[in-house]
C-alpha cells in the first residue's frame, strides 16, 4: 500500500468549515477559468466537463467539492477507490445523487428517485491499472481513462463480459513521449482504438493524455492538437465501435487553458481545486 495512505485517513468524512470554504473557492475559480477559456476559444459554454482529480483527498474534502459544483470525479489508485467509495455513496445518496456504477441502489434505499444526469456523478479511474486490480474498480467506476494496451483492454473486456456490464474506456496516448508517462505510442493509437472499439464489454468513449512536462507552450499544445486529430481520424474511419469515441480528456491545473483551446472535452484538475498535495 502507498505510504501516504498510512498517514491520512482517506475515509474521513468530517472537515472544518474553513477547509470546506477553501475547496468551494477552488471549485468556483476553476469553473470561471474554464468558462473564460471556452469563451476565448469560441467554444460553447459548458462544452468542457470538469473532473476533480481526488487522489490523496479524503471523503470530506471530496464532498465539499461536490457540494460546490463538481459533477465528475477521478481517482488514480484502485486502493483509494475502495477506501472512499462506500462513504461517498452513502453521503451522496442522502442528497439524492448516485455515484459511479453502484450508486443507484443506495439512492433508492435513501428514498430518492434517480432522475436525470444531474443526479449522477460519473466516477473515472485516471491512473495506471494493474490487471490484478481490475476486479476492485469494476463494480464502482464508469470509465477507465488509462487503457493503453490491447492486453489490458482484453482483460477488462473479459471481466466486464463476465459480469454482464459495459465499461467505458478512454485510450491513453503518450503524446509527449516522456518515458515516465504511461500511454501508448501516438503512432499506434488509431489501430489500438479500432481494436478496442470492436471488443465486447467495452465502450470506447475517447482519448486521454497528460500534457508535456515542459514550459514551452508550443510543445504542450502540439501534443493536445495531435490527440484531437487522432480522435477525428478514429471517428472518420467509421470502424466498428468507434462512433462514441468523442471525448478528449486533456488539461490539468497547469495547462487546462491550452487544452481547452485545442479541443479538450474533459479537464482533470486537482491542485487548483484542493491546493497542493501533501503526499506524492
Ligand atoms: C493528479 C492528476 C491530475 C490532476 O493534476 P493537478 O496538476 O493536481 O491538477 C490529472 N490527471 C492525472 C492522470 C493525475 O494523476
Query: Which tens digits make up the pLDDT trace of 252-266?
Result: 999 999 999 999 999
Residue 266 CA, ligand 1 centroid: distance in Å: 12
Q: pLDDT band at residue 143, thresholds of 50, 70 and 90?
A: very high
Of 268, 271, 274, 277, the residue with max ligand 1 atoms within 8 A of its CB, to mutate for a pocket test, comes to 268
User: Can you give the pLDDT at residue 116?
Assistant: 45
- The CATH number given to whatever domain includes residue 254 is 3.20.20.10
Does the residue 279 lie in any domain?
A: no
For the CA atoms of 102, 173, 29, 81, what is the dihedral angle to 10 degrees? 30
Of 80, 252, 260, 273, the residue with max ligand 1 atoms within 8 A of its CB, to mutate for a pocket test, comes to 252
Among 39-43, 110-114, 133-137, the least confident range: 110-114
pLDDT digits (tens, 9 = 90+) for 153-206: 999 999 999 999 999 999 999 999 999 999 999 999 999 999 999 999 999 999
As a residue count, the chain comes to 280
pLDDT digits (tens, 9 = 90+) for 51-65: 999 999 999 999 999
* Residue percentage of the chain with pLDDT more than 90: 89
Neighbours of 166 (CB within 10 A): 14
* Residue percentage of the chain with pLDDT more than 70: 91
Query: For the chain, how many structural domains are there in total?
Result: 1
Question: Of all atoms in ligand 1, which is nearest to the CA of residue 145?
Answer: 13
Q: Which residues line ligand 1 (CB under 6 A)?
A: 53, 55, 76, 126-127, 210, 252-253, 268-272
Q: What is the residue-averaged pLDDT of the chain?
A: 94
pLDDT digits (tens, 9 = 90+) for 19-39: 999 999 999 999 999 999 999
Structural domain of 144: 3-274
Does the residue 280 lie in any domain?
A: no
User: Can you give the pLDDT at residue 118?
Assistant: 58
User: Can you give the pLDDT at residue 278?
Assistant: 85
List the residue whose alpha carbon is closest to atom 11 of ligand 1.
268
In the chain, what is the greatest distance between 2 CA atoms, to the nearest angstrom? 52
Please give the model's pTM, rounded to 2 decimal places: 0.94
User: Can you give the pLDDT at residue 115?
Assistant: 47
List the residue whose alpha carbon is closest to atom 12 of ligand 1.
126
Question: Of all atoms in ligand 1, which is nearest to the CA of residue 256?
Answer: 9
Residues paired with 172 in a beta bridge = 208
Residue 53 CA, ligand 1 centroid: distance in Å: 6
Q: Which helix (H) or strand (E) holds 55?
A: none
User: Can you give the pLDDT at residue 104?
Assistant: 59
Q: Which helix (H) or strand (E) holds 168?
A: strand 167-172
Does the residue 111 lie in any domain?
A: yes
Does the residue 152 lie in any domain?
A: yes
List the residue whose alpha carbon is closest to atom 13 of ligand 1.
126
Q: What are phi and psi of 176, to 5 degrees?
A: -80, -20
Amino acid at each position: 500500500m502507498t505510504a501516504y495512505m498510512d498517514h491520512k485517513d482517506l475515509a474521513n468524512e468530517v472537515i472544518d468549515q474553513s477547509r470546506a470554504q477553501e475547496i468551494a473557492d477552488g471549485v468556483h475559480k476553476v469553473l470561471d477559468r474554464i468558462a473564460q477559456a471556452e469563451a476565448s476559444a469560441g467554444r460553447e459554454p459548458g462544452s468542457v466537463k470538469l473532473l476533480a482529480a481526488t487522489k490523496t483527498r479524503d471523503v470530506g474534502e471530496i464532498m465539499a467539492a461536490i457540494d460546490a459544483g463538481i459533477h465528475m470525479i477521478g481517482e488514480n489508485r484502485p486502493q483509494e477507490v475502495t477506501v472512499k467509495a462506500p462513504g461517498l455513496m452513502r453521503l451522496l445518496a442522502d442528497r439524492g445523487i448516485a455515484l459511479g456504477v453502484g450508486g443507484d441502489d443506495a439512492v433508492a434505499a435513501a428514498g430518492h428517485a434517480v432522475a436525470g444526469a444531474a443526479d449522477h456523478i460519473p466516477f473515472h479511474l485516471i491512473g495506471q491499472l494493474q490487471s490484478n486490480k481490475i476486479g476492485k474498480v469494476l463494480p464502482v467506476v464508469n470509465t477507465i481513462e488509462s487503457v493503453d494496451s490491447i492486453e489490458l483492454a482484453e482483460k477488462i473486456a473479459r471481466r466486464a463480459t463476465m459480469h454482464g456490464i459495459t465499461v467505458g474506456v478512454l485510450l491513453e496516448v503518450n503524446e509527449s513521449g516522456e518515458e515516465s508517462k504511461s500511454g501508448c505510442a501516438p503512432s499506434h493509437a488509431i489501430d489500438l482504438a479500432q481494436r478496442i472499439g470492436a471488443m465486447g464489454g467495452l465502450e470506447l468513449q475517447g482519448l486521454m493524455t497528460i500534457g508535456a512536462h515542459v514550459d514551452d507552450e508550443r510543445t504542450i499544445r502540439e501534443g493536445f492538437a495531435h490527440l484531437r486529430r487522432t480522435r477525428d481520424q478514429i471517428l472518420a474511419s467509421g470502424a466498428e465501435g468507434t462512433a462514441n469515441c468523442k471525448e478528449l480528456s486533456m488539461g490539468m491545473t497547469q495547462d487546462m487553458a491550452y487544452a481547452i483551446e485545442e479541443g479538450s472535452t474533459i479537464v482533470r484538475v486537482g491542485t487548483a481545486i484542493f491546493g497542493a498535495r501533501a503526499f506524492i
